[in-house]
Amino acid sequence: MIDIKAHINNIALHHTIFDLPFAYIGALMASGGHPGVMTIVWITVAITTARAASLAIDNLADLKYDSQQPRMAYRAMVAGHISKREALIFIALCFVLLIFAVLQLPPICIYLLPIAALPCVIYPFTKRFTGYCHVFLGIAIAMAPAGGWVAAGGEVISFQLLVLCIGVIFWMAGFDGMYGAQDRKFDMEHGLHSLATEHGAKNAFGIARNYHLFAFFAFLCAGILVHIAWPYYIGVVIAGLVLIYQHRILKWNDFRYLNQRYFMRNGLVSIALFLFTWASYLVA
């Protein structure tokens, strides 16, 4: 019998707050605030299944490492609640649903799907060879606003979209780089790479701070470039304050607060930006 709860645990379904809001932002900006109900529905299905497949691939690829990492003992595959075969079947089903959802969107979307899916597939393996694996994760997450933008009729080649995606890339790379710093010793012992293994935990936090500063200005510029109304900038300010708060409470040599609560608190950035993007078109 399929253990639905275990699969939800395996793909960390709640982590969709990191990409789904940005997919909606992309759709809203591309369509001038009117992407269409069914467009939003199929974007939701596409992003959710793409992320589910990506997380399942990540957990499958890292299983031999996670099994030796006490911090990962709660994960469904590590605990033996999901077999490798079940994970592969789940990944295949997610891709089928993803393709079906994308086929309901403008034809350009299905042609671009392989390009959009590629970062999601290769990211889990980048920690084997580069300390900038966090940037690859950011690129994978940035496919959400790009997908939402194109699905809602936006031009594929767009400077505005590029700036938005850059913001997402460095926002994600920054907080993932900080979160991964707690595993520096384990990663070095097992030949894995991160900002912390390449530059030390202290410098990794410094690099993450610069990433987040860059992300803040990218979000600000994205709003200016699409000529969005004033509420959007309230969201940008809230996002900036969340990032400042995170950097104030976290220390490179004290990981007590570097937990799932920290991880989920970063979701306030995407939620705030989405809600105030939506509000911007409501008042326009």
Q: For the domain that residue 151 is a member of, what is the CATH number?
A: 1.10.357.140
User: What would the mean pLDDT of 182-209 be, rounded to a whole number?
Assistant: 95
Q: Is 278 strand, coil or helix?
A: helix
pLDDT band at 191 (very low <50, low <70, confident <90, very high): very high
Q: From CA 124, how far away is CA 54, in angstroms rounded?
A: 8
pLDDT-derived band of residue 242, with 50, 70 and 90 as boundaries?
very high
Q: Is the pLDDT of residue 9 over 80?
A: no
Of 48, 266, 271, nearest to 178 by C-alpha is: 266
State how far the alpha carbon of 187 is from the alpha carbons of 30, 61, 193, 194, in Å: 41, 15, 6, 8
What pLDDT does 66 receive?
Answer: 87
Q: What is the mean pLDDT of residues 225-248?
A: 96
Instruction: Tell me what the mean pLDDT of segment 108-132 comes to.
Output: 95
Closest CA to 165 of 111, 219, 107: 219
Q: Report the sign of the C-alpha dihedral through residues 190, 124, 8, 249, in that order.
A: positive
Provide the whole-model pTM. Answer: 0.94
Determine the Cα–Cα distance for residues 17 and 100; give it in Å rounded to an integer. 22
Q: DSSP strand E in 127-274: where?
A: none
pLDDT level of residue 6 (50, 70, 90 thresholds): confident
Of the candidates 145, 92, 139, the one whose C-alpha atom is nearest the C-alpha of residue 118 is 139
CB 27 within 8 A of CB 55: no
pLDDT one-digit tens code per residue, 41-94: 999 999 999 999 999 999 899 889 988 888 887 788 888 888 899 989 999 999
Question: What's the whole-number average pLDDT of the chain?
Answer: 92
Average pLDDT over residues 153-182: 95
Q: Are 241 and 211 in contact (CB under 8 A)?
A: no
Instruction: Tell the residue number behind the tokens 């490492």, with chain if given.
Output: 65
Of residues 252 and 142, the one with the higher pLDDT is 142
Please report the pLDDT score of residue 1 as a whole number.
Answer: 52
2 band by pLDDT with thresholds 50, 70 and 90: low
Q: Place 243 in a pLDDT band, splitting at 50, 70 and 90.
A: very high
pLDDT score for 135? 97
Count up the domains in the chain and report the number: 1
Range of the domain at 219: 4-283
Q: What is the pLDDT of residue 178?
A: 93
